[in-house]
Amino acid sequence: MFSNNPQLVDANEISEWPNGIRNYFNTEICQPAARCPTFGITNENNRIPEEETPKHLVHIASFDNLLRRFLSSTAFTKKRQQELFNLTDLSFNKKANIDDLANNLHNCDGLVLQQAIGLILSSLVTQPPWWCAPADELTDYLGIAKNSGDATKLCQALGMGHIKTGERILIWHYPASRAGGLFRPTVLEAGDNAFHFPSPPGKHFGQCMPLALGIQSVREAVHRPLDRDDITEFLLPKIAKVYGDVLPEDINTLSQIRSKHRQTLLDHYSEAPNWLRLHPIMSVALNDAD
């Protein structure tokens, strides 16, 4: 919130804002720590204390989107193409059919899959920040994804509204100590994700907005991408898939979900009433909490 007497900012400083954001992503949140050790300086006010860090985390990502990003990036070189062929006996090329390639990788031995994904992800110059949640808060939905291969409820619990029916999902289950520091997600990391609502500022976890009624909200955080060895070791050796609809079935259901999430924020954060007043879309019937 602004103070009663806000200080005017020099125009030169305002012009540096986009560069500052770009620098934050490129040097502090989108590269493994081993590649770029300066980390956490900009976002220190959102760093989650170690004593609040759970033992294990879960991170999921779209396998389909990863393949598309890799095949269209400068990281996809002839050397990488040959390395992946030697590893998988599959032909990776820019004109490859993503569905066919994903299905063939799905049928590979689990260790081969882990090594291939480790090679692909570690080849990228930058990755999106790794969003994660405490593993013990996702036990049921993680179990469904492992046992049946259906990641629909897992994606709903994590608020991943950009995931479409039919997408294949990669799942990492790893010690929090490998993350190198957890941070509360902000609007910078969320970008234009319409299904992310940032939790009040502070050194604490954020809160996911689940995308289905009956699914409990779980905490969320972001951290740097894992290093290659950890990417390989902690990736589950089986690709899951989204068989149902991740998004709410209609606008009325979404409205109910938003109201429930608003109450979750009020229940978990003392700063929530003032925070919600800044965001009217989540502040319906706020007087009930006063």
Break the chain down into helix, strand, coil percent, rounded to 5.
45, 10, 45
Please give the radius of gyration of the chain, using alpha carbons only, rounded to the nearest integer. Answer: 20
What does the alpha-carbon distance between residue 158 and residue 220 come to, in Å, rounded to a whole number? 8
Residue 164: pLDDT band (50, 70, 90) is: very high
Question: Is the pLDDT score of 150 beyond 50?
Answer: yes
- The mean pLDDT value of the chain amounts to 86
Query: pLDDT tens digits, residue range 76-90?
Result: 999 999 999 999 999
Q: What is the mean pLDDT of residues 264-279?
A: 86
Question: Is the pLDDT score of 208 beyond 70?
Answer: yes
Query: pLDDT tens digits, residue range 224-256?
Result: 999 999 999 999 998 999 999 999 988 899 889
DSSP letters along 7-41, please? PPPPHHHHHTHHHHHHHHIIIIISS-TTT----SS
Q: What is the mean pLDDT of residues 169-188?
A: 92
Q: What is the mean pLDDT of residues 115-138?
A: 93
pTM given for the model: 0.87
Q: What is the mean pLDDT of residues 195-200?
A: 84
Three-state secondary-structure class, residue 66: helix
Residue 37 confidence (pLDDT): 63
Residue 18 confidence (pLDDT): 79
> Percentage of residues in the chain with pLDDT exceeding 70?
89
Residue 39 confidence (pLDDT): 58
